[in-house]
Structure 1
Amino acid sequence: MFQEIKQYLADSDLLLNAVGEGIYGFDLDGNAVFINPAAERMTGWNNSEMLGHNIHQYHHHSHADGSDYPAHECKIYGTLKDGVSREVSGEVFWRKDGSSFPVEYTTTAVYRDGNIIGAVAVFRDVTRQKAAEKALHDALSEVKTLSKQLQTENTYLINELQQQWSGQGLVGSSVQFEKMLMQLELVAQTQSTVLILGENGTGKELVARNIHQLSPRSNTPLIKVNCAAFADNLLESELFGHERGAFTGAIERRKGRFEIANNGTLFLDEIGELSMSAQGKLLQVLQEQEFERVGGNKTIKVDIRVIAATNRDLQGMVDEGTYRMDLFYRLNVFPIHIPPLRERIEDIEPLCQVILTKLNAKLGKSIRGIKQKSLTKLKQYHWPGNIRELQNVLEHEAILTTSDVMEVKHALFDAKVKNNQAVSSMADAERNHIERVLNHCQWRIGGKTGAAAILELPESTLRSKMKKLAIVRPLS
């Protein structure tokens, strides 16, 4: 029998010696009758040491963890018994020096005249394959970790805006408000640039957030940039990011808001406060949808939907030459005007209910509603600070309220004249305060000791307020 198998394999001797896989031939007792050169190279065992011997005890005696691998469980010997071919992976062969290597092998029975006379095992060293698989697994694991970090970052960026307390909500049934909602719903489904126009406190940020949430980009970041919050020399870095060493203090590379907002929505608040220089840089990015980080030379392309907001009259600023016409038309694709609260007085009652619900949760109260007399008082006031002022008034009253029905006693409503017209308002108080500060500064607006610095406002914002409140320097 030994000679038959040996002769069978020797018939293909040249071929078997040339292949790169290791090949063993076995007789029915499991003894080696043929070992090709590749098998010798991989295991370190020579023909002279193994021919005629039970190979299992030489290179297949243990599992990868060192535990015993009994011969009766060996897949190679299994084929000798039942003639069934097997493809095996996840096992190791042991070298003569005591080390092991991962293998994949196949076992095939050898027949003559219909009877099994032995078996052949063809194996290969899969060390490199296993290393590549591990490297791939590690890389995928790292990608998964980075994806989770990115998801966390995006969730934070998305929620950064959403978590701000917005008690006013998009609530109302007035004709003006419903018209605005219809425009909001229509434009939300497009990729068009939106310009939200409205006085301070009308809820421009809330409208922007709802446009984003109703848009196809709702699962991507909504990134806000307050254009009035950064000086010119910092705004470019804030918007476009910077490379390490781009300027003093740039100790590491930083992504800008445009890059973070890629595939999402960028909300440019206070867009009317940009300097002419900043307007030019912004226009170029909006046109090309690409930019370079400060101090960098790599062009970064982005896909961004832009929503801008302002309380300024941009058309008037264009006419005055303080705002670029081309940027204005780039932003003014679809303007949405938010009506001031004084023009939708009928919405005050539902707004109050929404605000009270938020206040109850925030302050641990259980206020059910507002007395009718107080509601009438709220409706008679002209609300220069709009919904934000209403929110502040109700929060002040909620803190003082000890019953489940609120009575509004705010100082805003104390001083009255005929026809229930208020002689004192937020606008009056703001105007008086600004004039006092200006007088103190001898009407100097800019500089460290100017009125803008004392009021903690950008110079452009202060000038805008002075124009809105008709504040002019008295003739000396």
Structure 2
Amino acid sequence: MDSSLKQYLHDPRLLLDAAGEGIYGFDLDGNAVFINPAAERMTGWKASELLGKRIHQFHHHSHADGSEYPADECHIYRTMFDGQTRQITNEVFWRKDGSQFPVEYTSTPIYKDDQLIGAVAIFRDVSTQRSTQQALRDALQRVSQLSEQLQAENTYLLEEINADWQHGELVGQSPPFCTMMQQLQLVANTDATVLIQGENGTGKELVARHIHAQSPRKEAPLVKVNCAVFAESLLESELFGHEKGAFTGATQRRKGRFELADGGTLFLDEIGELPLPAQGKLLRVLQEHEFERLGGQQTIKVNIRLIAATNRDLWEMVQQGTFRMDLYYRLNVFPLRVPALRERIDDIELLVSQLLVKLSQKLGRKFDSISNKSLSLLKNYDWPGNIRELQNTLERAAILTQGSVLNIELFAESAYQHEQPIQTLADCERQHISRILSQCQGKINGVNGAAKLLGLAPSTLRSKMKKLNIARE
């Protein structure tokens, strides 16, 4: 046998130096007494920098989320105290440059003459393994998402619908609808910021989702934020995230919606409800594509496409001083107006056909069509609640209908007749809000409140009630 090979086999240190796993040797005080080259490569720390020092303080001091990892909880140190072997699979080591990598390691006690003298930790970088596992999970999730998407799209394939525009749930053939779709197609392939304007219930979120689905970012997430839902104190945390301890209740670091939407599209619904302080931070993100989490100092860069929606007149808000002019111009790059249902009455039949299929699935019953009398009633109503009101009307009628032909029995026919005196939009809106308030027994907030049923923010509903002189029962 070659003499050099004999030396190699009889010198344990040479064997340890050749190992592909990182190896640390510790004395009973937790100080490093041995570090092999693989450990140096993985951590960036040279043996000369760590020998004689407590390694836990250098790259085992924090958990993956950045929270403190006390030395007395360290599995490696525990082995030196109780002499038990431990195998750990869910921790991270921190490199010299401040980055981290996932590790799996074994902590084994070392004995001499039956006396515990220290421990050895053998670890390996499992970044590639974790990346592969994550890629598999992402692929499975994507398959699930595609499966759900295909299942949903199948419900829109109705033989009765022969519209020029039939994209997802956006169906219609009326001139106002076609004009909107032409503009939508033009802007979808760009990264331009879109401001979707329209009354409540017109389908602004569907328009935003369609823009995203037709954009180059369609494989990335569309993240929605309803600016009217969160309290002002929590909205910035939702948008930008927060660090652990940033405020009472922030027990761990959390990513905000901007980070979640990185590479994709962020949809800010009810943008007119955004408080002025949050408007300033939003403007900075749009200008610089970067921000900091609440309580943090690290600058986070993002690449997003922004779509905003509102039922309010933002320019009027600018003049009133409740909306920033510079933010308004940032958002109003490509304004897109969604027509009210009363402006596209010709689309009622197509919308009904689509909604009947969805109702059949939801209620587990087959609805083939709607009676001509009912369809006529629907076409002769002003629909102050727009498509959302149409959906609710059809669902209530479907519950009451016994056969497969839908009949509108829920509302008094006089409300839909041509002979009825022409009412103003305000009158229709007042009647509809009053009816819903009565149904909710005057309750505005909450899951069963009038605001939820009407698709309005509670503050918006109260404003409308005051404007229309509606008293709560």
Q: Is TM > 0.5 for Structure 1 vs Structure 2?
A: yes
Aligned position for 2:390: 390
Question: Is the contact between residue 289 and residue 303 of structure 2 (CA under 8 Å) also seen in structure 1?
Answer: yes
Pairwise CA distance, 1:136: 7.1
Question: Is the contact between residue 200 and residue 311 of structure 1 (CA under 8 Å) also seen in structure 2?
Answer: yes
2:278 is the counterpart of 1:278: yes
- The change in CA–CA distance for 1:359 and 1:452 in structure 2 (over 3 A counts) is closer
Question: Is the contact between residue 241 and residue 256 of structure 1 (CA under 8 Å) also seen in structure 2?
Answer: yes
Cα distance in structure 2, aligned partners of 1:226 and 1:236: 12
- The change in CA–CA distance for 1:392 and 1:217 in structure 2 (over 3 A counts) is same
- The change in CA–CA distance for 1:185 and 1:470 in structure 2 (over 3 A counts) is same
Higher mean displacement: 194-203 or 395-404: 395-404
Q: How is 1:158-169 mapped onto 2 (pairs within 5 angstroms)? A: 169=169
The 3-state SS of whatever aligns with 2:127 is: helix
Aligned position for 2:468: 470
Choose which of 83, 104, 128 in structure 2 pairs with 1:140.
128
**Which residue identity lines up with residue 178 of structure 1 in the other structure?**
C
Question: Is the contact between residue 244 and residue 253 of structure 2 (CA under 8 Å) also seen in structure 1?
Answer: yes
Cα distance in structure 1, aligned partners of 2:317 and 2:265: 26
- The change in CA–CA distance for 1:398 and 1:140 in structure 2 (over 3 A counts) is same
- The change in CA–CA distance for 1:437 and 1:367 in structure 2 (over 3 A counts) is closer
Q: TM-score scaled to structure 1, two decimals?
A: 0.65
1:128-175 deviation digits (Å, cap 9, x = unpaired): 389969977732111222344566788999999999999992010001
Question: Is the contact between residue 380 and residue 417 of structure 2 (CA under 8 Å) also seen in structure 1?
Answer: no
The 3-state SS of whatever aligns with 1:344 is: helix
- The change in CA–CA distance for 1:311 and 1:464 in structure 2 (over 3 A counts) is farther
Pairwise CA distance, 1:465: 2.3
Pairwise CA distance, 1:236: 0.5
Q: TM-score scaled to structure 2, two decimals?
A: 0.65
Question: Is the contact between residue 158 and residue 220 of structure 1 (CA under 8 Å) also seen in structure 2?
Answer: no
Question: Is the contact between residue 157 and residue 221 of structure 1 (CA under 8 Å) also seen in structure 2?
Answer: no
Pairwise CA distance, 1:462: 3.2
Cα distance in structure 2, aligned partners of 1:412 and 1:210: 36
The 3-state SS of whatever aligns with 1:225 is: strand
- The change in CA–CA distance for 1:157 and 1:227 in structure 2 (over 3 A counts) is farther
Cα distance in structure 2, aligned partners of 1:223 and 1:456: 19
Cα distance in structure 2, aligned partners of 1:350 and 1:223: 29
**Which residue identity lines up with residue 428 of structure 1 in the other structure?**
Q
- The change in CA–CA distance for 1:425 and 1:459 in structure 2 (over 3 A counts) is closer
Aligned position for 1:410: 410
Choose which of 428, 432, 436 in structure 2 pairs with 1:429.
432
- The change in CA–CA distance for 1:179 and 1:241 in structure 2 (over 3 A counts) is same
RMSD: 4.1
Cα distance in structure 1, aligned partners of 2:440 and 2:368: 41
Cα distance in structure 2, aligned partners of 1:152 and 1:464: 46
- The change in CA–CA distance for 1:416 and 1:218 in structure 2 (over 3 A counts) is closer
Cα distance in structure 2, aligned partners of 1:266 and 1:420: 44
Q: How is 1:53-452 mapped onto 2 (pairs within 5 angstroms)? A: 127-128=19-20, 138-149=126-137, 169-411=169-411, 413-415=413-415, 419-421=419-421, 425=428, 427-431=430-434
Cα distance in structure 2, aligned partners of 1:309 and 1:201: 12
Fraction of identical pairs, as percent: 51
Pairwise CA distance, 1:410: 2.0
- The change in CA–CA distance for 1:161 and 1:330 in structure 2 (over 3 A counts) is farther
- The change in CA–CA distance for 1:452 and 1:335 in structure 2 (over 3 A counts) is closer
Question: Is the contact between residue 377 and residue 416 of structure 2 (CA under 8 Å) also seen in structure 1?
Answer: no
Aligned position for 2:460: 461
Pairwise CA distance, 1:403: 1.5
